[in-house]
């Protein structure tokens, strides 16, 4: 009888040992399974998964773009928060526009009133459309390269709100001969407007007139006299 009890105890011990080994085997197998973390595509509660990256719990993704809080998206353009776009340019009030009015009191001196010019400036330049090449003592010269102070030549004086200019009829050849004294000038072409007069207002606005009282030949009528066109 005692032998039977020993045999049963041995069998129970074997069964117990086998059970322990099996339990140890499965326990170690579960422990070897990988545990996902936030750097390896962890799924955060209340959010969504962004493959290859990380997710922000409770947020959403904006594929291919970014979100500017408090603003809106304009396709193909950009947003200026709190601002607006005004197409086109600002239109100046005609009442404040620069105006230049000639008052011919006598042919030798013309008064030119300047309205809305502030501290204006006056310039006289060669008309680019009338520029030409001629000869001085047989050498080629360009009219626009003439070394002359045209404001002094035409006796321009600037006053408060107006300026004066000597608008006597002049022949171009005689005018150039007064600059290149004792020189022979040839190949002078006939032009209707050799010079431009430009008034520049203090605010940068400009007014340009083509002067007509300088001609190549003194054959125009006094009755048709105009200082500019």
The domain segmentation of the chain, as residue ranges, is 95-224
Look-up of token digits 């431009």: 196
| Statement: residue 167 has pLDDT above 60 | yes
Q: CB neighbours of 68 closer than 8 A, spacing ≥ 6? A: 79, 81
Is residue 17 very low, low, confident or very high in pLDDT (cuts 50, 70, 90)? confident
Residue 47's pLDDT is 44
| Statement: residue 83 has pLDDT above 50 | no
The total of other beta-carbon atoms located within 10 Å of residue 30's CB is: 7
Is residue 14 very low, low, confident or very high in pLDDT (cuts 50, 70, 90)? confident
Report CA 69 to chain centroid distance, whole Å: 29
Q: What is the mean pLDDT of residues 209-220?
A: 77
Q: What CA–CA distance (Å, rounded) separates 151 from 117?
A: 19
> No. of H helices and E strands in the chain?
3, 12
| Statement: residue 180 has pLDDT above 80 | yes
Q: What is the mean pLDDT of residues 171-190?
A: 90
Cut 0.85: pTM above it:
no
> Mean pLDDT for the chain?
73
**Quick one: tokens of 102?**
């000639």
Give the residue among 146, 145, 163 at the shortest CA–CA distance from 201.
Answer: 163
Chain segment 93-115, per-residue pLDDT in tens = 566 788 888 776 556 778 999 99
Residue 145's pLDDT is 94
Give the residue among 149, 172, 155 at the shortest CA–CA distance from 107.
Answer: 155
Percentage of the chain beyond pLDDT 70 is 59
Chain segment 107-157, per-residue pLDDT in tens = 677 899 999 999 999 999 999 999 999 999 999 999 999 999 999 999 999
CB 6 within 8 A of CB 18: no
> HSE (CB half, 13 Å, CA atoms) of 135?
6
């Amino acid at each position: 009888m005692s032998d039977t009890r020993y045999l049963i105890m041995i069998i129970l011990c074997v069964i117990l040992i086998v059970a322990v080994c099996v339990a140890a085997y499965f326990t170690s197998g579960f422990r070897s399974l990988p545990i996902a973390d936030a750097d390896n595509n962890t799924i955060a509660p209340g959010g969504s998964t962004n493959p290859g990256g990380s997710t922000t719990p409770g947020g959403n993704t904006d594929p291919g773009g970014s979100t500017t809080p408090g603003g809106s998206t304009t396709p193909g353009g950009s947003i200026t928060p709190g601002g607006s776009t005004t197409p086109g340019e600002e239109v100046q009030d005609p009442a404040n526009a620069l105006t230049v009015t000639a008052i011919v009191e006598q042919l030798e001196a013309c008064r030119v009133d300047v309205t809305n010019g502030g501290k204006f400036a006056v310039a006289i330049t060669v008309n680019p459309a009338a520029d030409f090449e001629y000869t001085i003592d047989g050498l080629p010269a360009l009219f626009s390269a003439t070394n002359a102070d045209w404001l002094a030549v035409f006796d321009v004086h600037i006053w408060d709100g107006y300026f004066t200019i000597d608008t006597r009829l002049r022949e171009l050849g005689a005018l150039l001969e007064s600059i290149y004294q004792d020189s022979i000038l040839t190949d002078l072409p006939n032009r209707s407007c050799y010079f431009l007069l430009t008034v520049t207002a203090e605010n940068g606005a400009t007014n340009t007139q083509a002067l007509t009282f300088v001609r190549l030949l003194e054959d125009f009528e006094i009755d048709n006299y105009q200082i500019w066109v």
